[in-house]
Amino acid sequence: MPKLALCLMLAAASGAFAEEVNVYSARHYDTDMALYDRFTENSGIAVNLIQGNSDGLIERIRNEGEFSPADMLITVDAGRLWRAHRQGVFQPVESTVLSERVPAHLREPQGHWFGLSKRARVIVYNKAAGLPQGVSRYEDLADERLRGKVCMRSSGNIYNISLLGSLIAHNGEQAAEAWANGVVANFHRGPQGNDTAQLRAVAAGECGASLANTYYIGRLHGSNKEEDRAVAGGFGVLFPNQRGRGAHINISGAGVAKHAPNRDNAIKFLEYLTGDFAQRLFAEGNNEYPVIGKPTGPIAELGDFKEDALDATLLGANQSLAVKVFDRAGWQ
């Protein structure tokens, strides 16, 4: 933890700041701490931070009920934001700043949560073997020409659930299930590992194609370890569906807690996170795309792409159905 951030938290605990905001966050990056430091310097509002995993923090706020000290929840994935909203964690916020800065498809329509950074879920392929013939869309991963060549992580992973939720929204349940069945038929091995494991398997030639979020790719490209950079050099990246709806994206986002004791400060902090300085650091901390402006760092080298403008709330609304479709397809 940066020294200044620690000092700010100690000062807040001792009452040195008259104003404060209590943030529950599932993000764990030093650059986020730098954001909190700058906010306090500019506003005089101390940021008190509680960290944990997304589901744990959501459950904690629910259990704390009306006595919760939480002013804001920051979490990862539209599915979890939707779940938190459905469980009564957030309250609606009306803010011209947020409405103007955050694109409509990246925020809850009544202002319960707002996207703050993005990641694209892309197709990766073994660079030496080349892009498999005919592959340009997510749908093409079910093509029988890829028999025995596809590696994937578990269907229980929220990123895969959200992607299937988008396919249900665009193509319907029947087509989405046919896709899941086709991908399962193309598996080289049973689902295992995280996105980085899929990238390593593709780079090594074990698999011909897989899916990964762009921030995992950015980490490998920007790593100070030679072996990581070698992995990054072993796979190619394809942004899918560029002639159609665009590549599926997911978000980190935040909302003001239902019983926020410092509501006005939470709104100020949320607005601050959509500013230019905050957007740059918020995204750079995890090799993500800002919701406003151009990316920097390793992922900028991947180039521009067309993103799917599907309402992110649908990714959450389709979660339950997506899990059932995966189960029926035998995607473990």
What is the domain count for the chain?
A: 2
Query: Is the pLDDT assigned to residue 2 strictly greater than 50?
Result: no
Cβ–Cβ < 8 Å for 294, 288: no
Question: Of 23, 9, 5, 20, which Cα lies nearest the Cα of 254?
Answer: 23
Identify whether residues 239 and 324 lie together within a single domain: yes
Q: Does any domain span residue 286?
A: yes
Q: What percentage of the chain has pLDDT greater than the value 70?
A: 95
Map tokens 């900028």 to a residue.
Answer: 300
Identify whether residues 210 and 149 lie together within a single domain: yes
Q: Does any domain span residue 303?
A: no
Average pLDDT, stretch 39-59? 95
Confidence category of residue 245, pLDDT binned at 50, 70, 90: very high
Give me the DSSP letters along 138-207.
GGGGG-GGGTTTB----TTSHHHHHHHHHHHHHH-HHHHHHHHHHHHHTBSS---S-HHHHHHHHHTTS-
End-to-end CA distance of the chain: 38
Identify whether residues 176 and 46 lie together within a single domain: no
Identify whether residues 30 and 111 lie together within a single domain: yes
Task: List the domain range (segments joined by +) for residue 204.
Answer: 119-247+311-329
Identify whether residues 162 and 100 lie together within a single domain: no
What integer pLDDT is reported at residue 17 of this predicted model?
A: 55
Partners of 24 in the β-ladder: 50, 73
For helices 158-171 and 78-86, the axis angle rounded to 10 degrees is: 90
Query: Is the pLDDT assigned to residue 179 strictly greater than 70?
Result: yes
Cα separation, 48 vs 27, in Å, equals 14
Identify whether residues 262 and 282 lie together within a single domain: yes
Coil, strand or helix: which one is 59? Answer: helix
Confidence category of residue 18, pLDDT binned at 50, 70, 90: low
Q: Does any domain span residue 299?
A: no
CATH number at residue 13: 3.40.190.10
Partners of 290 in the β-ladder: 117
What integer pLDDT is reported at residue 187 of this predicted model?
A: 98
Q: Does any domain span residue 177?
A: yes
Average pLDDT value over all residues in the chain: 92
Identify whether residues 144 and 240 lie together within a single domain: yes
Identify whether residues 158 and 145 lie together within a single domain: yes
Query: Is the pLDDT assigned to residue 105 strictly greater than 90?
Result: yes
Element (DSSP H or E) covering residue 200: helix 195-203
What integer pLDDT is reported at residue 11 of this predicted model?
A: 43
Identify whether residues 234 and 259 lie together within a single domain: no
Q: Does any domain span residue 137?
A: yes
Identify whether residues 47 and 74 lie together within a single domain: yes
And the tokens for 317?
Answer: 């609304």
Identify whether residues 124 and 238 lie together within a single domain: yes
What integer pLDDT is reported at residue 31 of this predicted model?
A: 78
What integer pLDDT is reported at residue 86 of this predicted model?
A: 94
Identify whether residues 206 and 325 lie together within a single domain: yes
Q: Does any domain span residue 175?
A: yes
Q: Does any domain span residue 166?
A: yes
Map tokens 């869309």 to a residue.
Answer: 137
Q: Does any domain span residue 302?
A: no
Coil, strand or helix: which one is 224? Answer: coil
Cβ–Cβ < 8 Å for 23, 269: yes
